[in-house]
């Protein structure tokens, strides 16, 4: 088991993220938010895990009920963008719900990529409702010595 140094800012960020999720969940359960927008127009945020393994970073995004055609993944200008939409079930009328906790509508997620990512080797798989994005790190080339060849220096003397 690896020993991890305590970082109070990390704990505060985790608390903030949890609170944001709580507020997002409450807003998603309301048919309208405080400013009159519907849940479908405000969107939702899927849960995401990001972790690092020796030679790569891995993102896992929970997207149950979505197919690969419901999701778009792009890398542009050092940013990974994930967008998609979970549509409500057409077979059930909105007023028929007695309880509705599963969010639907559009979602969007952007993550800044570190420069060490090999963008040409990024790959994604979608299995059992989990999208896994593998971001390989570029291989560092070990420093090497360069042999300097002897140079011939000619001197021109101005004869005036």
Q: Tens of pLDDT along 87-130?
A: 888 888 888 888 888 888 899 999 999 888 999 999 999 999 99
Task: Identify the band that residue 154 occupies on the pLDDT scale cut at 50, 70 and 90.
Answer: low
Q: Report the SS3 class of residue 84.
A: strand
Q: Which residues contact 103 (CB under 8 A, 6 or more apart)?
A: 28, 39, 44, 86
Q: Could you say which DSSP state residue 4 is in? A: -
Q: What is the pLDDT of residue 152?
A: 62
Query: Which pLDDT belongs to residue 132?
Result: 97
Task: Look at 38 and 28; give whichever has higher pLDDT.
Answer: 28
pLDDT score for 87: 87
**pTM of this structure:** 0.62
pLDDT category, 155, cuts 50, 70, 90?
Answer: low
pLDDT value at residue 126: 95
The residue with greater pLDDT, 37 or 24, is 24
Three-class secondary structure of residue 126 per DSSP? strand
Rounded CA-CA distance 83/36 in Å is 24
Question: Taking Cα atoms as reference points, which of 107, 114, 124, 121 lies closest to residue 59?
Answer: 124
* Mean per-residue pLDDT of the chain: 81
Contact 82, 108 (CB under 8 A): yes
Please check the confidence at residue 29 and state whether its pLDDT lies above 60: no
Instruction: Give the model's confidence band at 32: pLDDT under 50 very low, under 70 low, under 90 confident, else very high.
Output: very low
DSSP 5-67: ---HHHHHHHHHHHHHHHHHHHHHHSSB-TTS-BHHHH-----EEEEEETTEEEEEEE-TT--
80 vs 71: CA distance, rounded Å: 13
pLDDT reading at 62 higher than 90: yes
Residue with tokens 């704990």: 11
Predicted local distance difference test score (pLDDT) of residue 30:
54
- Pull the structure tokens for residue 105: 């509508």
Model confidence at 17: pLDDT above 90: no
Task: Say if CB 65 and CB 72 are below 8 A apart.
Answer: no
């Amino acid at each position: 088991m690896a020993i991890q140094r305590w970082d109070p800012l990390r704990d505060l960020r985790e608390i903030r993220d949890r609170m944001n999720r709580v507020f997002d969940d409450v807003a998603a359960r309301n048919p309208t938010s405080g400013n009159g927008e519907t849940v479908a127009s405000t969107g939702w945020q899927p849960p995401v895990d990001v972790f690092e393994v020796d030679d790569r970073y891995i993102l896992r995004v929970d997207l149950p009920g979505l197919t690969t055609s419901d999701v778009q993944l792009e890398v542009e200008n050092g940013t990974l963008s994930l967008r998609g939409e979970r549509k409500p079930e057409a077979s059930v009328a909105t007023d028929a719900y007695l309880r509705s906790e599963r969010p639907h509508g559009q979602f969007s997620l952007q993550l800044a990529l570190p420069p060490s990512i090999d963008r040409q080797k990024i790959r994604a798989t979608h299995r059992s409702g989990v999208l896994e994005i593998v971001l390989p790190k570029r291989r560092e080339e070990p420093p090497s010595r360069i042999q300097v060849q002897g140079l011939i220096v000619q001197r021109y003397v101005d004869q005036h």
